[in-house]
Structure 1
């Protein structure tokens, strides 16, 4: 592509390096990229708004050139659909994607979801009010990822897991009496009495938090019940 060759020449990189970065930008919807190329400083990532990191971290001149190259390539990459999308379509378009040592991720700020795939197994996580801006590989017995948000480091295992249809099929139908019992267990009855002791309410709050963490209660249900309980203190 002549345009790509010209852009590469302007920024002092090979067409292959520019193509690698354009493809990384396409996977990020033209708004983010995670790349790994020797001409681009090794492993690095960029996101719209000015965030840029490269493996050759003290080479400020190269960092500025890569950032400028990303800015010029981003509109071209954003026009093309993201290739090889592996995440559920209903999550929308990711703001950032990446692949590290067989682990790949995609971050969706609009739906507050983080998708992670390892060994063909897809996992979804709720990001809440975190605005994910960086990622690193954690060392240890098992491979996992750590992220950075406006609140600081975010461990993957600390984010609430969101069940997927493939991972957790719907439970079998329960008899009416059993269903009523299950419903009572899943959602503590906050209106059984007009007021409760502080200890009882704190205990219910802990149960609500645990059910929310396990995905039994949605964010809206959790907030509504929590507000009701706090009003009774």
Structure 2
């Protein structure tokens, strides 16, 4: 049935059967509402989303853009008419720029298969005790399967299958750097996060001790810096009496009255009184 539909859509839209088959698969993997594709007849890599969003590599070719969009709409309609199972929860791998790469996406949680497509021979490569993934997909030579309820993420690279603890992340997509170290990142409610930040649970079924770097410890409280006591500003040598520091006339006369009282009581001599009196009067 899938071959018949591909042939019909090929005749209708003027694309080859191979190109139409590629688009059917892309739309199906996008749960019938979106597609990420890469085919020369479609201007290279592109994206489609039901409701009008359409991007192709040959961005200024409006005629091709319209034809590809119409094909995507017909693919979605054909898949819906021949759907024998249901699925939910679209899982989208992020498109990359630069270089050549292949990626697809699948929605998990379904019960049943679409009669248009043969089963994927690579299915169920993850640990079987995890059951059915919430979402799965592939990108370049990497495959991944996300199990939201179990908080686990399975990643296959070459012959190795790694199982990660997803912690509090609600994973929504993957991307892989096409330049540099080719590192893998994923997106969650916390933003873009490197895959290497997740604890490793097992490799090929063998439990692993997590090699995650420990969280940085809070820096110890820095003791307050002992400030050297400031030497008091050098003041002019104070006279024997506080009265000598005043230059206010009223204060001078008050001081003289107090000095007179000291003289009357014999606490100071007449000579001392006269010297202080002369000094204070010079300040007025």
TM-score w.r.t. the length of structure 2 is: 0.44
Partner of 2:18: 16
1:71–1:29 distance in 2 versus 1, CA, 3 Å: closer
Higher relative contact order (CA 8 A, sep 6+): 1
Partner of 2:76: 71
Match of 1:92 among 116, 132, 142: 132
1:139–1:99 distance in 2 versus 1, CA, 3 Å: closer
Partner of 1:56: 57
Q: Which runs of 5+ in 2 are unaligned?
A: 84-112, 213-284
CA contact (8 A) 1:42 1:54 kept: no
Give per-residue Cα distances to partners, 1:85-116, cap 9 Å, x unaligned: 1323334145240221x223233445443321
Q: CA deviation at 1:145?
A: 1.8
Partner Cα distance (1:46, 1:126) in 2? 32
Match of 2:187 among 148, 153, 157: 148
Q: Is residue 142 of structure 2 the alignment partner of residue 137 of structure 1?
A: no
Partner of 2:146: 107
Give per-residue Cα distances to partners, 1:10-59, cap 9 Å, x unaligned: 45532102223444567788788665322345345779x88x88662846
1:61–1:131 distance in 2 versus 1, CA, 3 Å: farther
Aligned CA RMSD, in angstroms, stands at 4.2
Give per-residue Cα distances to partners, 1:123-149, cap 9 Å, x unaligned: 12233442413x322256643322233
Q: Which runs of 5+ in 1 are unaligned?
A: 172-210, 215-233
Q: CA deviation at 1:82?
A: 3.5
- Residues 19-38 of structure 1 correspond to what in structure 2 (within 5 A)? 19-23=21-25, 35-38=37-40
